[in-house]
Amino acid sequence: MIHIAESPEVTEARAEGRPLVALESTIITHGMPWPKNLETARAVEDAVRESGATPATMAVVDGKLRVGLDAVALEGLAQRSDVRKLSRADFAACLATGGTGATTVAATMIAARIAGIGVFATGGIGGVHRGAETSFDISADLHELAQTAVTVVAAGAKAILDLDKTYEVLETLGVPVIAYGQDSLPAFWSRTSPLAAPLRMDSAAEIARAHAMRAALGLPGGQLVANPIPEADEIPAETLAPLIARALADAEAEGIGQKAVTPFLLDRLFTLTEGRSLEANISLVLNNARLAAAIARELGAA
Ligand code: PSU
């Protein structure tokens, strides 16, 4: 039996048939430093509300799946340093053993499916790490996109990754990758990349119709919507490239591996960009939350 605890806001929205947007919690516990993590989590929820949908931030707290976190739970999670980072492999174990963990993209997709929520906003998905040909480090987020029917709005895959290989794997897995409003794929902190987008859509309504069509066809798996960061907040790829190279070299020198890699690299880039990478990250998550809310509103009509 899964213990699910829904926030009153989510229960009310569901009862009234209003649109819901799932949000993850790993970005809060492992992706941003305190207290910006809490401020951002609140601002992202508000962005969803202002765009006409209800936020459902997902987490596992003391063995219960929380669908929507109240103010106390959100703050508690943001302040704790002992929270696990949950993906598909350890989600059930955490629930079964009464543990507490934050949900990654993969685990949030599973939670959204259980809660009957079709769309989810995050910053950037995990993907194929650079050097994966020897380390085999590939995020479970990619396989989840292939299996779980949730539309994920992100600013693409994080640029610390090997973007070419990440999108190759998504293609192999049959995951639709849709660039929003442009022909190239965005690269998280930067609006564009040299990679052409496999699909382009210019409205939330089209994305919602494509989501519904996949369901009608009986296709498992979700869609990745790659939404470029707002222009004013982007960091040009040329500025970032040497800093990413340095952060990667530091990770290798310090022997950082597995689940610790992404949080380590994000933290190193925060220092190397003197905080600019965090401001960009916040801006893109807010932007994704607004688009996800627009898609959620359309999903009701699709
Ligand atoms: N988006 C962000 N910051 C983050 C993440 C997403 O802006 O920290 C998290 C998500 O939870 C994603 C995880 O699933 O990073 C990827 O981790 P890994 O590379 O270890 O799979």
pTM: 0.98
Q: Is the model's pLDDT at 203 over the cut of 70?
A: yes
Q: Which runs of consecutive H residues, i.e. helices, occur in 129-225?
A: 132-135, 140-147, 163-172, 204-217
What domains can be seen in the chain, in order of their start residue? 4-301 (3.40.1790.10)
Residues having CB within 6 Å of any atom of ligand 1? 24, 26-27, 30-31, 104-105, 122-124, 126, 139, 141, 259, 262, 266, 281, 285
Structure confidence at residue 302 as a pLDDT band (50, 70, 90)? low
Structure confidence at residue 301 as a pLDDT band (50, 70, 90)? confident
Q: Is the model's pLDDT at 236 over the cut of 70?
A: yes
Give the nearest ligand 1 atom to 258 CA.
20
Give the separation between CA 146 and CA 83, rounded to whole angstroms. 27
Mean pLDDT across the stretch 80-86? 95
In single-letter form, the type of residue at position 84 comes to R
- In this structure, what is the dihedral angle of CA atoms 137, 288, 7, 88, given to the nearest 10 degrees? -20
Structure ipTM: 0.97
pLDDT, position 49: 98
171 is catalytic: no
24 is catalytic: yes
Give the nearest ligand 1 atom to 104 CA.
11
Residue pair 91/103 in contact (Cβ under 8 Å)? The answer is yes
Mean pLDDT across the stretch 99-109? 98
